[in-house]
Amino acid sequence: MFDEMMKKARMHASASTYAAFLDPLEGFVLSILLEQEKSLRALKEKNEER
Amino acid sequence: MKGWIIDCYPDYEHDCTVIWIKTNKGIERLVDRCFFPKFYVWAPEERLMNLADDLTMFDVKELILEKKKIWLGEEKKLTLGVTVNKYGSLNQLARMVSRWGDYKDYSLFNVDMRFEQRYFLAYDLFPMGLAEFGKELRSIDSPYRLEYPIPNLRASNLRVDVKARNGIPTFDDPIGSVHLDKTTIDGPEESILTDLDSIVRKIDPDVIYTCDGDGFYMHYLAKRAERNGLRFDLGRESGGRFSKGKSYFTYGRILYKPPAHKLRGRIHIDTSSSFMFTESGIYGLIDLSRLCGIPVQDLSRLSPGSAISAMQVNEALRTGHLVLWKKNLPERFKTARELIVCDRGGFIYEPGLGIHDAIVEVDFTSLYPSIMVRYNISPETVMCDCCPDSSRIVPEIGYRICEKRIGLIPRVLDPIIKRRLVFKRLMKGDSRRREIYEQRSKILKWVLVTCFGYTGYRNARFGRIECHESITAYGREILLRTSEIAERRGFRIIHGIVDSVWLEGDADPTGFCKEVTEATGIPLQIEGKYKWIVFLPTITTDVGALNRYYGLFDTGEMKVRGIALRKSDTPSLIRDLQTDMLKVLCKTENSEEFERTIPSVLEVTDRYVRDLFDGKTPLEKLVITKRVSKELNDYRQWNDSVAALKQLSHKGFDIQPGDVVEYVICDASSHSASERVRVAQFLRGDENYDADKYIEQVLRATADLLSPFGWDFGALQDRMRSKAAESRQLPARAHRPFNRREMREAPVRVQQRR
């Protein structure tokens, strides 16, 4: 599970660098939240189709 | 008389400068006894006068007060010019003056410059340039000419065969034979050396090419001659110019620079150690030599960065500046927040993994150098004192850039960028001279590439970290603007890295490039259109990696980056394997066909595995090349490279950090250095190789290309195992996952199976 989270953070590593957060954790958490939001939406859409 | 300057060097014994000129008839040696080098000192006027008084007691040729600019863009100040009487005393005198001022009161200038660079500047000459000589030496050429006559240089290839007892030649082994072009000289060692000497004198080549002459052979020949009581010199004049070899650490790697062995009056180029020669050939070297004022022989041993530094120094001196000795330009203090904002690299879009159809790649040509020219970035223009309210502000970080004058770096770079573009255009037209233009454009490319790095190098003559930060900031801004334009025009960005973007979509790429070029002022060009392109993940995670991809252009050409095939330590077996796999994939038109072809690609892998198992793979295909990073005693772990080093040291060979070892793995599980690997030079041809280890490498190399399609290393192993079970052709043990302990008990030997 933790590896999955790390992967999500890594997927946005370049973008986080560009945003230049003072605390790298901000980019880390935001990346994970963003990916979670994406999968939530995908699941919701799937549910509505059904 | 007219001719080309091919060599120039100081004669410290006689305090004169020797210049060799190649004419259409032959060669001329000129001696200049009038030139003496000069350095400058700056201090408040009173101190300067006192210093001048003190210096009169010493043996100096001339003391003169001159008004010079002591730093880029500053007003002229009164300085003391000291011309020395003896070539060798300049450094001594400079050090003494520096000590008198407690290393802080006097600023010294023009001290550590290349001698020939001084000479050329003083008389407005340049190497490989046409000059007229008679009463005086005068240039009748311009370094910036695009088409210029090149001297008809006579070149010879020198190769030495050593009767090496242990496979690797040493200074104690006698000479076997010497090959000069097509002539072979053999016989007793003494006669080989005297014959070589007389043949070189007879042919009188201007250029001598060797492979590893600097690293070994030139030194070796001299040592052998010494042992035979002979004098040995391949130059037109006796005496050489040598330097020591050294290991150095750069960009996370240890590299080894062999000692230089330069000849007098002739150009010795070591093709194996000259980066610039390998990259761009002799025409590139000649072009750059003209531009930067360093003779070809010296230039071939330098890095492109030294060339660009030399050009900057030349430009600075020409415009009345002095070049500070021991520059000390501290970085101004920055807060942590400022550092986080400033200290960044290029902009990157993570690639979309897997295969994509119909992708366009667009690139900025020399993005960073163009930014320096377009936005006037130079150490003296970034945050200059003269324009505190400048309207030119660096994006994100807010540095202000001078509006009043053009900086040194843009002045140097602008002609190079333009020159390279012209050569690139000419390359496409004239097929006869295509090679020449290609080499010239290639060397200029390297010069431009290194120029950016030098702005961030504290010890570079004109380095300043704020320039570096400004350039990357502009770079990120430009890439962002490019992607905005791309998306507005209906493209989807698949991947982007610093100066290139990969785009998907039906929009018009030509119009897009035109719009970006207009908007940013830096030319954007279409690198190519891919039928398909595969972006690969990093080896350790399955997130997309930068610069690991392979794709097929619509021209049928393939672009491959970051896979084993491109790496220098890959055995040629793996290189062949990946090339064969790509050859199969080359025939596919789109992703659908690509995926249908994967089974035939796997057949290629099967073929390699079978050959390995049957012991059919030739040993030379299995040679692994590894760069050594430490001395043998500093290694703590036990691995193949260490085994190879041990084997070498056993036979009396020490390998310097940064040098390479080549070996074949014989038994990866063995604890004995002689059984684990065999150093390539010691191969007899009947050794057994470790088939399992190489099969593992073959599977990894296959996974390297096919992992986005479900064929990672584990899947490939499973596949091989089930295949073996089906056919029963191969014994099952080779297909189990790699197990060290088991291997140790019963190592698989190909020969044993027969």
Q: What pLDDT digit, counting tens, does each position of A6-46 carry?
A: 888 888 888 888 888 888 899 999 999 999 999 999 999 99
Query: Shortest CB distance from B348 goes to which of A11, A14, A22?
Result: A14
**Chain A residues in contact with B350 (beta carbon < 8 A):** 11-15
Question: Residue B381 sits in which domain range?
Answer: 339-404+462-562
Residue B501 C-alpha, separation from nearest chain A C-alpha, in angstroms: 15
Among residues B109, B139, B169, which one ends one of the domains? B139
The verdict on residue B552 lying in a domain is: yes
Instruction: Select from B735, B733, B736, B696 the least CA-distant residue to B713.
Output: B696
Nearest C-alpha of chain B: how many angstroms from A41?
20
Angle subtended by helix axes B189-203 and B218-227, to nearest 10: 120
- B47 neighbors B70 (Cβ within 8 angstroms): no
From the list A14, A20, A21, the residue facing B350 with the nearest CB is A14
| Cβ pairs A/B, distance under 8 A | 28
Put simply, the answer to whether A10 touches B543 (Cβ < 8 Å) is yes
Q: Do A14 and B340 touch (CB under 8 A)?
A: no
A5 touches chain B (CB under 8 A): no
Residue B294 near residue B302 (C-beta atoms within 8 A): yes
Q: Which of B285, B318, B351 is the last residue of a domain?
A: B318
Cα–Cα distance, B535 to B537 (Å, whole number): 7
CA dist., res. A8 & res. A23, Å (int)? 18
Closest residue in B to A11 (Cα) is B543
Task: Say yes or no: B198 and B57 in one domain.
Answer: no
CATH number for the domain that contains residue B47? 3.30.70
- Cβ distance of B344 and A20 shorter than 8 Å: yes
B348 contacts on A by Cβ (under 8 Å): 14, 17
CB contact under 8 A, A7 and B349: no
Q: Which residue of B336, B476, B542 is in closest CB contact with A18?
A: B476
The interface predicted TM-score (ipTM) is 0.81
Same domain, B217 and B276: yes
Asked if the structure places residue B101 within a domain, the reply is yes
pLDDT value of residue B670:
87
CATH of the domain at B649: 1.10.132.60
A41 interfacial to chain B (CB closer than 8 Å)? no
Q: Determine the residue of chain A that is closest to B495 in CA distance.
A: A14
- What residues in B contact A10, CB-CB < 8 Å? 541, 543
Residues B131 and B96 in one domain: no
Angle of the B691-706 helix axis to the B572-585 helix axis, nearest 10: 30
Instruction: List chain B residues with CB under 8 Å of A7.
Output: 541-543
Element (H, E) at B559: strand B558-561
Check: CB of residue B620 under 8 Å from CB of residue B681: no
Among the partner residues A7, A21, A22, nearest to B543 by beta-carbon distance: A7
B17 within 8 A of B119, measured Cβ to Cβ: yes
Q: Determine the Cα–Cα distance for residues B403 and B389; give it in Å rounded to an integer.
A: 10
- Write out chain B residues lying below 8 Å of A35, CB-based: none
Query: Is residue B216, in this structure, part of any structural domain at all?
Result: yes
Residue B558, SS3 per DSSP: strand
Whether residues B349 and A14 touch (CB distance < 8 A) is answered with yes
Q: Is there a single domain that holds both residue B297 and residue B230?
A: yes
For B:384-403, CB contacts with A below 8 A are: none
- Kindly give the parts of chain B with pLDDT less than 70: 240-242, 248, 250-255, 329, 542, 727-754
What is the distance between the alpha carbons of residues B152 and B234, in angstroms, rounded to a whole number? Answer: 20
Query: Is residue B148 included in any domain, yes or no?
Result: no
Q: Which residues contact B498 (CB under 8 A, 6 or more apart)?
A: B345, B346, B347, B348, B367, B475, B479
Statement to judge: residues B725 and B696 lie in one domain: yes
Residue B630 sits in the same domain as residue B747: yes
Within a domain: B183: yes
Contacts of B345 in chain A (CB under 8 A): 17
Identify the domain boundary among B513, B546, B562: B562
Residues B161 and B224 in one domain: yes
Residue B658 lies in a domain: yes
Q: How far is CA A42 from CA A35, A36, A49, B159, in A?
A: 11, 10, 11, 68
Query: What's the structural domain count of chain B?
Result: 5
Instruction: List the CATH number of the domain containing B167.
Output: 3.30.420.10
Residues in chain A within 8 Å Cβ distance of B336:
22
- CA-based nearest residue in chain A for residue B543: A11
C-beta of residue B197 within 8 angstroms of C-beta of residue B232? yes
Based on the fold, state whether residues B218 and B355 are members of the same structural domain.
Answer: no
| B627 and B737 in a common domain | yes
Residue B610 located in a structural domain = no
Domain match, B135 and B162 both: no
> What's the start-to-end Cα distance of chain A, in Å?
28
Q: Tell me, what's the pLDDT at B251?
A: 63
B541 to chain A: nearest residue by CA?
A7
pLDDT score for B738: 39
| Separation CA B273–CA B660 (nearest Å) | 13
Q: Are residues B297 and B396 in the same domain?
A: no
Q: Verify that B394 and B531 share a domain, yes or no.
A: yes
Q: Is residue B165 part of a domain?
A: yes
AA letter at B595: E
Contacts of B344 in chain A (CB under 8 A): 17-18, 20
Sign of the torsion angle spanned by Cα atoms B330, B333, B337, B338: negative
A22 and B340: CB-CB below 8 Å?
A: yes
B746 touches A: beta carbon within 8 Å: no
